[in-house]
Amino acid sequence: MVSIFSRIANAYARRHDRNYWRRKFAESIGLRSARFTSPFALHRLIVRSGTTDWLVYRQIFEELEYQCLPSNFNPATILDLGANVGYSSAYFLTRYPDAKVIAIEPDSDNFATLCENLKPYGNRASALHAAVWSNQGSLSLRADHYRGGGAWAKQVRADAHGSILAFDVEALMRRFALPAISLIKMDIEGAEVEVFKGSLNWIDNIEVLVVELHDDSAFGSASRVVVPEMQRRGFESWTHGELTVFRRPHSV
């Protein structure tokens, strides 16, 4: 007798196959993008042809990398730092139906797609074309390529004449009137090192931080900066693939 789990797994595999071939077909006829469905996203999502979008899509909706978050966690407010084209935000909005997400993305092309992907979620989702940093100011995208480049590996740098707004976490909390944040997701291609050089009072007002720690960027080793600080503040931690999760004890 086929179990319910097997039926779901088989159905998902068939859906994945359809998405794969739809992507291939879209690329073959020169479409710039196509929309794909996932049981882990309430609404269809734009995947751009010839970009790293499909790789990000697979990480989040097939490999389910954010399933590492606590099963008994019900966040109210989520700050998605380095939101790319909005797949992680869509996953959070689907998994946590009572949550609101604020998505921050510095790259203008990614940001445009992010806004389209989050539009169906209405006032549950907000987006800001900016980057998180150690202080407020301005930034620009680095010209050199990190980890092979691509839309999923955009890095920023300090630039007094740059067009990208920079906010520290506390400034973002003030901008969006957030006294506390349930969950911060941080995937900012090494700039987490820079974030942890600024004021860290925001850490006292969060429950969970899930971060991809980059130890091979021009910013230096993130693990050596982030992990000791979070442990010093009493957070529990565990790793799942590329992600490290920090949870305040007894917070969830």
Q: How confident is the model at residue 5 (pLDDT cuts 50, 70, 90)?
A: very low
The CATH number linked to 240 is 3.40.50.150
On the question of pLDDT at 112 being above 70, the answer is: yes
Query: Which of 15-19, 21-25, 95-99, 143-147 comes out lowest in average pLDDT?
Result: 21-25
Residue 36 belongs to a domain = no
How far is the C-alpha of 116 from the C-alpha of 184, rounded, in Å? 22
Residue 40 belongs to a domain = no
Average of per-residue pLDDT across 78-94: 98
Q: Are strands 77-81 and 45-48 parallel, antiparallel or unpaired?
A: unpaired
pLDDT for position 179 = 96
pLDDT higher for 90 or 250?
A: 90
Q: How confident is the model at residue 151 (pLDDT cuts 50, 70, 90)?
A: low
DSSP output for the chain: ---HHHHHHHHHHHHHHHHHHHHHHHHHTT-SEEEE--TT-SS-EEEETTSSHHHHHHHHHTS-GGGGS-TT---SEEEEES-TTSHHHHHHHHH-TT-EEEEEE--HHHHHHHHHHHGGGGGGEEEEEEEE-SSSEEEEE-SS-STT-STT---EEE-TT-SEEEE-HHHHHHHTT-S-EEEEEE--TTTHHHHTTS--GGGGGEEEEEEE--SSBTTB-HHHHHHHHHHHTT-EEEEETTEEEEE-TT--
Residue 181 belongs to a domain = yes
Range of the domain at 80: 65-247
pLDDT for position 186 = 98
Residue 98 belongs to a domain = yes
On the question of pLDDT at 83 being above 60, the answer is: yes
Residue 102 belongs to a domain = yes
pLDDT higher for 10 or 246?
A: 246
pLDDT for position 180 = 97
Average of per-residue pLDDT across 80-105: 98
pLDDT for position 11 = 55
Residue 194 belongs to a domain = yes
Query: Which of 42-56, 163-177, 222-236 comes out lowest in average pLDDT?
Result: 42-56
* 190 Cβ contact partners less than 8 Å away, ≥ 6 residues apart: 146, 155, 214, 216, 217, 218, 219, 220, 222
How far is the C-alpha of 61 from the C-alpha of 55, rounded, in Å? 10
b/e burial code for range 134-151 (CB count within 10 A of at least 16 → b): beeebbbbbeeebeeeeb
Number of domains within the chain: 1
Say if residues 196 and 81 touch (Cβ distance below 8 Å): no
pLDDT digits (tens, 9 = 90+) for 222-246: 999 999 999 999 999 999 999 999 9
Average of per-residue pLDDT across 189-212: 96
Residue 150 belongs to a domain = yes
pLDDT for position 157 = 86
How far is the C-alpha of 99 from the C-alpha of 95, rounded, in Å? 9
Q: How confident is the model at residue 118 (pLDDT cuts 50, 70, 90)?
A: very high
Average of per-residue pLDDT across 196-220: 95
* pTM for the structure as a whole: 0.86
Residue 24 belongs to a domain = no
